[in-house]
Structure 1
Amino acid sequence: MKQETVVIKEGNSERLESTNIIISVRHTYGSKSEIVVGSPGLPNVNEEFLVGDALLFETPNDGVFELRALSMDTQQIEILISQVSPRLGIVGGFVDDDPNNTPFTPDELGKISESIKKLSADIKKTQKFTSEQLNLIDRKLIEIEDASQRLGRKDWINYVAGTLTTVCVSAAFAPDTSKALFKAVNTAFRWLFDNAILLLS
């Protein structure tokens, strides 16, 4: 497992040597710190860290990394960065010339948004996921909802399946955890998947 430790002072940023992850420390209060994690071309993740807290961050080329707060004071924070999986993370776009691959209607886009909100709530109720895994899943659900605005329905279903499969593999989800995620997705989007193959049985 690839690992490195960085110490970042308040008001400073650090770019990891092994990847394009950039960690910025906005404020340190002694017992907690406000950090921003990002990579060029990806949305930032803002997090309030206590000692021992961790978050999962997915990169386009180097897989998923765990960032864990080892120590902090009023001037700086020490973070351990571990590569959870070296597999490729973010799923690329899909190209499909199928004339039936039509865009979603405004009503369908609204229903997708509602389904994603329900899905997020249902996943939390299962209590099968750690807080770090839930954080990563929530970020992926935001990306999935955004993709529904630009992809046709067939491409979008492929995108959802690919994105969630990558999350489960890259973040090393246990088999029952992965199954719980896909079951919740199939339930939330049954209205759409009834005329398509379910993502996973």
Structure 2
Amino acid sequence: MTGEVSVVVVVGNPKPGSRTLTAATTLAEAIARVLPASNTTIIDLAGIAPGLLAPWSLSEAAAEAVDAVRAADVLVLATPTYKASFTGLLKLMLDTLPSGSLSRTVVVPLIVSAGPAHKHLADLQLRPVLGELGAVLPVPSFLLAEADIAELAGSVAGFVSEQGAVLAAVVGALAGRSAVAPDR
């Protein structure tokens, strides 16, 4: 990792330009301000889905997305809860990554659920996969009910206020530099 922090957003909603994308972008921008990050890359998997079907023969766009994920310092992985889990589209992306390939990457999962009964389902399925990839998961997932999307800015601000110092410290430690805690 260089002195510059990169944030990459991966959105696993099969609908292009989804509310999941909006939520993930908002969260990533807030995290980037806390770190601070030098660049943020947004990857909406809906636009490159066919290129992910064969991990041994990725399309050019899919290969670039995988490279961006592997180079990320901070990865915001966003998915709606879909059939009681995270989406198959996000799984396609994760299946392109070798075991342990996220061992120096701080991952912040973002889960959008239809309601309170579903809010933990995708998270329960996603975390073991991220563990296999070696992801660093120092903070809880950002869980967002569809009914709360209207309050997205406030929810993101609250999450970053609570978790920003931890994210900054862990990213700094992985980079071998001391972290500066955000002002509260």
- Give the TM-score normalised by the residue count of structure 1: 0.27
What TM-score results when the alignment is normalised by the length of structure 2? 0.28
Say which structure is richer in strand: 1
